Amino acid sequence: MKAAKTLVTGAGGFIGSHLVEALVHEGAEVRVFLHYNSKGDCGLLDQLDRDIQEQLKVFWGDLKDPEALRVPVKDCDVVFHLGSIIAIPYSYVNPVDFVQTNVMGTAHLLNRCLEAGVDKVVHTSTSEVYGTALYAPIDEKHPLQAQSPYAATKIAADKLAESYYRSFGLPVAIARPFNTYGPWQSARAVVPTIILQALGGMTVNLGSLHPTRDFNFVEDTVRGLMAVAKSRGAIGEVFNIGSGQEISIGDLAETIFSLIGKSVKIQRDQKRIRPEKSEVDRLVCDNSKARDTLGWKSTTSLEAGLEETIGWFRSNLGRYRTDFTV
Protein backbone atom coordinates (compact mmCIF):
# COMPACT_ATOMS: atom_id res chain seq x y z
CA MET A 1 0.00 0.00 0.00
CA LYS A 2 3.03 2.31 0.03
CA ALA A 3 2.17 5.64 -1.62
CA ALA A 4 -1.29 4.35 -2.61
CA LYS A 5 -3.99 7.01 -2.53
CA THR A 6 -6.67 5.56 -0.28
CA LEU A 7 -10.04 6.65 1.08
CA VAL A 8 -11.69 5.09 4.13
CA THR A 9 -15.38 5.75 4.69
CA GLY A 10 -16.52 5.08 8.25
CA ALA A 11 -12.97 5.93 9.32
CA GLY A 12 -14.13 7.16 12.72
CA GLY A 13 -15.53 3.76 13.60
CA PHE A 14 -13.87 0.83 15.36
CA ILE A 15 -12.49 -1.18 12.45
CA GLY A 16 -12.10 1.93 10.30
CA SER A 17 -9.82 3.69 12.78
CA HIS A 18 -7.60 0.62 13.15
CA LEU A 19 -7.47 0.31 9.35
CA VAL A 20 -6.44 3.97 9.01
CA GLU A 21 -3.60 3.40 11.48
CA ALA A 22 -2.36 0.36 9.54
CA LEU A 23 -2.54 2.17 6.20
CA VAL A 24 -0.46 5.07 7.50
CA HIS A 25 2.10 2.63 8.89
CA GLU A 26 2.36 1.05 5.42
CA GLY A 27 3.05 4.42 3.83
CA ALA A 28 -0.31 4.99 2.13
CA GLU A 29 -1.77 8.44 1.53
CA VAL A 30 -4.95 8.29 3.59
CA ARG A 31 -8.13 10.27 3.15
CA VAL A 32 -10.91 9.76 5.67
CA PHE A 33 -14.63 10.41 5.19
CA LEU A 34 -16.43 11.29 8.41
CA HIS A 35 -20.06 12.07 9.19
CA TYR A 36 -20.27 15.80 9.74
CA ASN A 37 -20.95 17.03 13.26
CA SER A 38 -20.76 20.54 14.71
CA LYS A 39 -18.19 19.50 17.33
CA GLY A 40 -15.64 18.34 14.79
CA ASP A 41 -15.60 14.98 16.55
CA CYS A 42 -13.45 12.52 14.60
CA GLY A 43 -14.75 9.51 16.50
CA LEU A 44 -12.21 6.82 17.27
CA LEU A 45 -9.58 8.46 15.11
CA ASP A 46 -8.90 10.45 18.26
CA GLN A 47 -7.39 7.25 19.69
CA LEU A 48 -4.55 7.40 17.16
CA ASP A 49 -1.19 8.99 17.83
CA ARG A 50 -1.05 12.68 16.95
CA ASP A 51 1.59 12.12 14.26
CA ILE A 52 -0.78 9.70 12.50
CA GLN A 53 -3.75 12.07 12.78
CA GLU A 54 -1.71 14.87 11.24
CA GLN A 55 -1.08 12.77 8.12
CA LEU A 56 -4.78 12.30 7.37
CA LYS A 57 -6.81 14.35 4.92
CA VAL A 58 -10.27 14.68 6.45
CA PHE A 59 -13.47 15.06 4.45
CA TRP A 60 -16.74 15.78 6.24
CA GLY A 61 -20.12 14.82 4.84
CA ASP A 62 -22.92 12.29 4.80
CA LEU A 63 -23.15 9.11 2.73
CA LYS A 64 -26.79 10.01 2.04
CA ASP A 65 -25.57 12.99 0.00
CA PRO A 66 -24.15 11.85 -3.36
CA GLU A 67 -22.32 15.13 -3.89
CA ALA A 68 -20.38 14.79 -0.63
CA LEU A 69 -18.37 11.90 -2.06
CA ARG A 70 -17.35 13.41 -5.39
CA VAL A 71 -14.15 15.12 -4.20
CA PRO A 72 -12.97 12.47 -1.67
CA VAL A 73 -12.90 9.67 -4.29
CA LYS A 74 -11.13 11.71 -6.98
CA ASP A 75 -7.81 10.13 -8.07
CA CYS A 76 -8.09 7.36 -5.45
CA ASP A 77 -6.33 4.06 -6.01
CA VAL A 78 -8.26 2.15 -3.34
CA VAL A 79 -11.52 2.97 -1.54
CA PHE A 80 -12.33 1.04 1.63
CA HIS A 81 -16.06 1.35 2.26
CA LEU A 82 -16.81 0.78 5.95
CA GLY A 83 -19.31 3.59 6.44
CA SER A 84 -22.63 2.27 7.75
CA ILE A 85 -24.95 2.18 10.75
CA ILE A 86 -24.27 -1.10 12.56
CA ALA A 87 -26.18 -1.30 15.86
CA ILE A 88 -28.70 -4.13 15.48
CA PRO A 89 -30.97 -3.00 18.37
CA TYR A 90 -31.27 0.45 16.76
CA SER A 91 -32.28 -1.19 13.47
CA TYR A 92 -35.46 -2.39 15.20
CA VAL A 93 -36.22 1.20 16.21
CA ASN A 94 -35.37 3.08 13.01
CA PRO A 95 -34.94 0.72 10.05
CA VAL A 96 -35.43 3.49 7.48
CA ASP A 97 -32.26 5.22 8.69
CA PHE A 98 -30.38 1.99 7.96
CA VAL A 99 -31.81 1.83 4.43
CA GLN A 100 -30.90 5.43 3.71
CA THR A 101 -27.32 5.12 5.01
CA ASN A 102 -26.36 1.51 4.32
CA VAL A 103 -28.13 1.01 0.99
CA MET A 104 -28.47 4.44 -0.59
CA GLY A 105 -25.13 5.55 0.88
CA THR A 106 -23.44 2.55 -0.74
CA ALA A 107 -25.14 3.30 -4.06
CA HIS A 108 -23.87 6.87 -3.94
CA LEU A 109 -20.34 5.70 -3.19
CA LEU A 110 -20.34 3.11 -5.97
CA ASN A 111 -21.56 5.71 -8.48
CA ARG A 112 -18.83 8.13 -7.49
CA CYS A 113 -16.14 5.42 -7.66
CA LEU A 114 -17.34 4.41 -11.11
CA GLU A 115 -17.35 8.03 -12.25
CA ALA A 116 -13.83 8.62 -10.85
CA GLY A 117 -12.33 5.42 -12.26
CA VAL A 118 -11.16 4.11 -8.88
CA ASP A 119 -8.76 1.17 -9.26
CA LYS A 120 -10.19 -0.94 -6.40
CA VAL A 121 -13.20 -0.75 -4.07
CA VAL A 122 -13.18 -2.92 -0.96
CA HIS A 123 -16.76 -3.11 0.24
CA THR A 124 -17.09 -4.22 3.86
CA SER A 125 -19.93 -6.61 4.61
CA THR A 126 -20.73 -8.51 7.83
CA SER A 127 -21.29 -12.11 8.90
CA GLU A 128 -24.79 -11.05 10.01
CA VAL A 129 -25.90 -11.39 6.36
CA TYR A 130 -25.73 -15.18 6.77
CA GLY A 131 -28.18 -15.36 9.67
CA THR A 132 -28.16 -18.53 11.74
CA ALA A 133 -25.87 -21.11 10.15
CA LEU A 134 -27.72 -23.61 7.95
CA TYR A 135 -24.44 -25.52 7.85
CA ALA A 136 -21.12 -24.97 9.55
CA PRO A 137 -18.55 -23.66 9.09
CA ILE A 138 -20.11 -20.95 6.92
CA ASP A 139 -18.47 -20.43 3.53
CA GLU A 140 -19.14 -17.66 1.02
CA LYS A 141 -21.76 -19.79 -0.78
CA HIS A 142 -23.99 -19.96 2.31
CA PRO A 143 -27.49 -18.50 1.71
CA LEU A 144 -28.06 -14.94 2.88
CA GLN A 145 -30.80 -14.48 5.49
CA ALA A 146 -32.10 -11.13 6.71
CA GLN A 147 -32.81 -11.74 10.40
CA SER A 148 -32.69 -8.03 11.29
CA PRO A 149 -33.25 -4.78 9.40
CA TYR A 150 -29.51 -4.19 9.75
CA ALA A 151 -28.72 -7.51 8.05
CA ALA A 152 -31.23 -6.77 5.30
CA THR A 153 -29.54 -3.47 4.46
CA LYS A 154 -26.10 -5.06 4.41
CA ILE A 155 -27.34 -7.79 2.07
CA ALA A 156 -28.74 -5.10 -0.22
CA ALA A 157 -25.47 -3.17 -0.10
CA ASP A 158 -23.47 -6.31 -0.88
CA LYS A 159 -25.66 -7.09 -3.87
CA LEU A 160 -25.36 -3.53 -5.12
CA ALA A 161 -21.58 -3.83 -4.96
CA GLU A 162 -21.73 -7.15 -6.82
CA SER A 163 -24.04 -5.66 -9.45
CA TYR A 164 -21.69 -2.75 -10.13
CA TYR A 165 -18.90 -5.24 -10.81
CA ARG A 166 -21.07 -7.38 -13.09
CA SER A 167 -22.93 -4.57 -14.83
CA PHE A 168 -20.34 -1.81 -15.10
CA GLY A 169 -17.00 -3.49 -14.53
CA LEU A 170 -16.32 -1.56 -11.33
CA PRO A 171 -13.38 -3.35 -9.62
CA VAL A 172 -15.15 -4.28 -6.39
CA ALA A 173 -14.21 -6.94 -3.85
CA ILE A 174 -16.35 -7.79 -0.81
CA ALA A 175 -14.77 -8.49 2.57
CA ARG A 176 -17.10 -10.13 5.09
CA PRO A 177 -15.73 -9.86 8.66
CA PHE A 178 -17.14 -11.99 11.42
CA ASN A 179 -17.32 -10.57 14.97
CA THR A 180 -14.35 -8.23 15.37
CA TYR A 181 -13.20 -7.11 18.81
CA GLY A 182 -10.26 -5.25 20.32
CA PRO A 183 -9.10 -2.01 21.99
CA TRP A 184 -11.31 1.09 21.84
CA GLN A 185 -14.40 -0.72 20.57
CA SER A 186 -17.80 0.73 21.47
CA ALA A 187 -19.42 -0.52 24.67
CA ARG A 188 -22.50 -1.50 22.64
CA ALA A 189 -20.53 -4.56 21.38
CA VAL A 190 -20.61 -7.74 23.42
CA VAL A 191 -16.90 -8.12 24.28
CA PRO A 192 -16.51 -4.58 25.67
CA THR A 193 -19.81 -4.71 27.54
CA ILE A 194 -18.77 -7.91 29.32
CA ILE A 195 -15.30 -6.54 30.11
CA LEU A 196 -16.52 -3.17 31.36
CA GLN A 197 -19.29 -4.60 33.52
CA ALA A 198 -16.96 -7.23 34.98
CA LEU A 199 -14.26 -4.69 35.76
CA GLY A 200 -16.78 -2.36 37.36
CA GLY A 201 -18.85 -4.73 39.50
CA MET A 202 -19.78 -8.26 40.48
CA THR A 203 -22.74 -8.70 38.08
CA VAL A 204 -22.85 -8.69 34.28
CA ASN A 205 -26.15 -8.13 32.47
CA LEU A 206 -26.46 -10.05 29.21
CA GLY A 207 -29.14 -11.21 26.82
CA SER A 208 -29.12 -14.71 25.29
CA LEU A 209 -26.13 -16.83 26.33
CA HIS A 210 -26.49 -19.75 23.91
CA PRO A 211 -25.67 -18.09 20.54
CA THR A 212 -22.19 -18.78 19.22
CA ARG A 213 -19.98 -16.31 17.43
CA ASP A 214 -16.64 -16.32 15.62
CA PHE A 215 -14.54 -13.61 17.29
CA ASN A 216 -11.63 -12.18 15.33
CA PHE A 217 -9.08 -9.75 16.79
CA VAL A 218 -9.18 -6.35 15.08
CA GLU A 219 -5.57 -6.49 13.83
CA ASP A 220 -6.39 -9.74 12.01
CA THR A 221 -9.53 -8.21 10.49
CA VAL A 222 -7.54 -5.20 9.27
CA ARG A 223 -4.90 -7.46 7.72
CA GLY A 224 -7.74 -9.25 5.97
CA LEU A 225 -9.14 -6.03 4.51
CA MET A 226 -5.71 -5.02 3.29
CA ALA A 227 -5.09 -8.45 1.79
CA VAL A 228 -8.30 -8.06 -0.21
CA ALA A 229 -7.15 -4.63 -1.40
CA LYS A 230 -3.74 -5.91 -2.49
CA SER A 231 -4.98 -8.92 -4.48
CA ARG A 232 -6.02 -8.46 -8.12
CA GLY A 233 -7.59 -11.88 -7.89
CA ALA A 234 -10.02 -10.58 -5.29
CA ILE A 235 -11.97 -8.43 -7.75
CA GLY A 236 -15.55 -9.66 -8.14
CA GLU A 237 -15.20 -12.04 -5.20
CA VAL A 238 -16.44 -12.31 -1.59
CA PHE A 239 -14.09 -13.27 1.25
CA ASN A 240 -14.97 -14.32 4.79
CA ILE A 241 -12.66 -12.76 7.36
CA GLY A 242 -12.92 -14.80 10.56
CA SER A 243 -10.95 -17.01 12.92
CA GLY A 244 -12.71 -20.28 12.14
CA GLN A 245 -13.42 -20.83 15.87
CA GLU A 246 -16.76 -20.42 17.65
CA ILE A 247 -17.68 -19.81 21.26
CA SER A 248 -21.02 -19.22 22.97
CA ILE A 249 -21.70 -15.85 24.58
CA GLY A 250 -21.96 -17.58 27.95
CA ASP A 251 -18.58 -19.28 27.54
CA LEU A 252 -17.07 -16.04 26.24
CA ALA A 253 -18.18 -14.29 29.42
CA GLU A 254 -16.67 -17.00 31.62
CA THR A 255 -13.40 -16.80 29.66
CA ILE A 256 -13.28 -13.04 30.21
CA PHE A 257 -14.02 -13.44 33.94
CA SER A 258 -11.16 -15.93 34.21
CA LEU A 259 -8.71 -13.63 32.40
CA ILE A 260 -9.73 -10.74 34.65
CA GLY A 261 -9.32 -13.01 37.68
CA LYS A 262 -12.71 -12.28 39.16
CA SER A 263 -15.80 -14.28 40.11
CA VAL A 264 -18.74 -12.56 38.43
CA LYS A 265 -22.44 -13.44 38.26
CA ILE A 266 -24.29 -13.32 34.93
CA GLN A 267 -27.77 -11.82 35.10
CA ARG A 268 -30.19 -12.25 32.22
CA ASP A 269 -31.48 -8.88 30.97
CA GLN A 270 -34.69 -9.06 28.94
CA LYS A 271 -33.94 -5.71 27.29
CA ARG A 272 -30.86 -7.25 25.68
CA ILE A 273 -32.65 -10.23 24.13
CA ARG A 274 -33.38 -10.03 20.40
CA PRO A 275 -36.80 -11.06 19.01
CA GLU A 276 -36.89 -14.86 18.71
CA LYS A 277 -36.84 -15.06 14.91
CA SER A 278 -34.22 -12.30 14.72
CA GLU A 279 -31.63 -13.96 16.96
CA VAL A 280 -28.71 -15.43 15.04
CA ASP A 281 -27.98 -18.63 16.94
CA ARG A 282 -24.76 -19.73 15.30
CA LEU A 283 -21.95 -18.08 13.33
CA VAL A 284 -18.62 -19.73 12.58
CA CYS A 285 -16.39 -18.87 9.64
CA ASP A 286 -14.94 -21.01 6.89
CA ASN A 287 -11.94 -18.84 6.00
CA SER A 288 -10.36 -21.25 3.53
CA LYS A 289 -11.05 -19.02 0.51
CA ALA A 290 -9.18 -16.09 2.08
CA ARG A 291 -6.37 -18.42 3.12
CA ASP A 292 -6.01 -20.00 -0.31
CA THR A 293 -6.57 -16.91 -2.48
CA LEU A 294 -5.18 -14.09 -0.35
CA GLY A 295 -2.66 -15.90 1.83
CA TRP A 296 -4.48 -14.52 4.88
CA LYS A 297 -5.32 -16.23 8.14
CA SER A 298 -6.19 -15.16 11.66
CA THR A 299 -3.09 -15.39 13.87
CA THR A 300 -4.29 -14.05 17.24
CA SER A 301 -5.79 -16.57 19.65
CA LEU A 302 -8.99 -15.58 21.45
CA GLU A 303 -7.21 -15.61 24.82
CA ALA A 304 -4.35 -13.42 23.59
CA GLY A 305 -6.71 -10.97 21.92
CA LEU A 306 -8.94 -10.78 24.98
CA GLU A 307 -5.97 -10.20 27.28
CA GLU A 308 -4.83 -7.23 25.18
CA THR A 309 -8.37 -5.90 24.97
CA ILE A 310 -8.97 -6.25 28.72
CA GLY A 311 -5.71 -4.43 29.42
CA TRP A 312 -6.73 -1.52 27.24
CA PHE A 313 -10.20 -1.20 28.77
CA ARG A 314 -8.78 -1.52 32.28
CA SER A 315 -6.69 1.58 31.55
CA ASN A 316 -9.60 3.50 29.99
CA LEU A 317 -12.60 2.76 32.22
CA GLY A 318 -13.57 6.41 32.58
CA ARG A 319 -14.31 6.80 28.87
CA TYR A 320 -17.22 4.39 28.75
CA ARG A 321 -20.81 3.87 29.78
CA THR A 322 -22.11 0.30 30.09
CA ASP A 323 -25.87 0.52 29.61
CA PHE A 324 -25.98 -0.26 25.89
CA THR A 325 -28.11 -3.20 24.75
CA VAL A 326 -26.43 -6.00 22.80
Identity (one letter) of the amino acid at 242? G
Give, for 9, the enclosing helix (H) or strand (E).
strand 5-9
Return phi, psi of residue 43, to 5°: 65, -140
Q: H helices of the chain, where? A: 14-25, 50-53, 70-73, 88-93, 95-98, 105-116, 149-168, 190-200, 218-230, 249-260, 288-294, 302-314
Per-residue pLDDT of the chain (326 residues; tens, 9 = 90+): 899 999 999 999 999 999 999 999 999 999 999 999 888 899 999 999 999 999 999 999 999 999 999 999 999 999 999 999 999 999 999 999 999 999 999 999 999 999 999 999 999 999 999 999 999 999 999 999 999 999 999 999 999 999 999 999 999 999 999 999 999 999 989 999 999 999 999 999 999 999 999 999 999 999 999 999 999 999 999 999 999 999 999 999 999 999 999 999 999 888 888 888 999 999 999 999 999 999 999 999 999 999 999 999 999 988 876 554 44
C-alpha distance from residue 265 to each of 191, 208, 213, 253, 257 (Å): 16, 15, 21, 10, 9
* 270-274 contacts at long range (C-beta below 8 A, 24 or more positions apart): 270/207, 271/207, 271/325, 272/205, 272/206, 272/207, 272/325, 272/326, 273/207, 273/208, 274/88, 274/89, 274/148, 274/207, 274/208
pLDDT of residue 326: 44
Rg (CA), the chain: 19
Q: How far apart are CA 121 and CA 288, in angstroms?
A: 22
Give, for 217, the enclosing helix (H) or strand (E).
strand 215-217
Give residue-wise pLDDT tens across range 8-59.
Answer: 999 999 999 999 999 999 999 999 999 998 888 999 999 999 999 999 999 9
Question: How far from each other are the two terminal CA atoms of the chain, in whole angstroms?
Answer: 35
C-alpha distance from residue 172 to each of 166, 168, 293 (Å): 9, 10, 16
Give the rounded percent of residues in the chain with a pLDDT score beyond 90: 91
* Domains (range + CATH), the chain: 5-180+216-241 (3.40.50.720), 187-213+245-283+300-319 (3.90.25.10)
Q: How far apart are CA 46 and CA 52, in angstroms?
A: 10
pTM of the model: 0.95
